[in-house]
Amino acid sequence: MLYPAVFVALLAPFIAPAAAASSKRGLVFTPNNTTPADDKIWVEKPTSLTWYYNYAPKPESVYKDVPQSQFEFVPMMWGAPSSLDDTSFLSTVKGLIKDQGVNITNVLSFNEPDGPFAYGGSNIEPSAAAKLWVNNLIPLQEMGVRVGLPACTGGSTGLPWLQNFLTECSKLISTADNQRNCTYDFVTIHWYGNFEGLASHMGEYSAAFPNKTMWITEYNDNNQDLKTTQSFYNTSAEYFDRLESVERYSYFGAFRSDVSNVGPNAAMLSVNGSLTDIGAWYLGRQATGILPTTSSGLRSLFPQEGVAMLTALVVVALSL
């Protein structure tokens, strides 16, 4: 009876339920020049990803052959141009819609405007962001395009920045006789940390912006061990899929573990570009058993049969 126990112990770390596919899931596209073939992984079937953004107003050429109806591109006005009167974002999105026939139905606005450039923030004053919003985003709303509230950091500066922004925006479109508020169609959330903190942060947004759906466009429990990272992924994905208030979400990790800035275990690709368990789960597939940092796991032990072979061995062992 020793052998069954040995086989079960060997298999146990690699057995995990497959995460169900979800139409809410999207791709945070992070391009790279060294391994461009990785970019195709996210649209290879089977995949549960239905949309993507790339921190820019134009879609990626690598996805030009994938219909917008299957993999929706969502433009983003990342930060502030040199002039607050600049309307190039508006012109670009209008061009996609009217000249190229791309069915743009949603856009994202400023990326972490309360954060410094050094940490990926766009570092915009609320008053400046308000003027850019009026010049670029309100005209898109008038065309029927849905616009997301700026995606602030998960820190203490985020909600105050948004409240100041909405106040400044209201000032620009109001008159003495007609008080108006700038409107938005959904709130956009970023979070890096544990699940308890994420749930609490989402609760704060629900209280501050009632009756608005949420897009969680960057999230991860960064720089944790593999077990903690996988547990966070599974718990948060189940939570997002269950909540009607969560309209869409996109896990920040679509890159190889050796270039990850959120820790190697948070990446969806191993050092050689193979899908890790989290990467496979995110696409709605079975776990691969491939470790993020070594590209090893069941695939390295049994390159042809993988999990199926080891499972068969367990069945045989248990029958002894």
Pairing of strands 213-220, 26-28: unpaired
More confident: 33 or 259: 259
The per-residue pLDDT for range 244-299, each reduced to its tens digit, is 999 999 999 999 999 999 999 999 999 999 999 999 999 999 999 999 998 666 54
- The residue with greater pLDDT, 318 or 124, is 124
Confidence of residue 33 (pLDDT cuts 50, 70, 90): confident
Domains defined along the chain, listed by start:
2-319 (3.20.20.80)
pLDDT of residue 212: 97
Compute CA 185 distance to the chain's CA centroid, rounded to the nearest angstrom: 18
6-20, 51-65, 102-116, range with the lowest pLDDT: 6-20
pLDDT digits (tens, 9 = 90+) for 133-169: 999 999 999 999 999 999 999 999 999 999 999 999 9
pTM: 0.87
Task: Kindly indicate the confidence band of residue 19, based on its pLDDT and cuts at 50, 70 and 90.
Answer: low
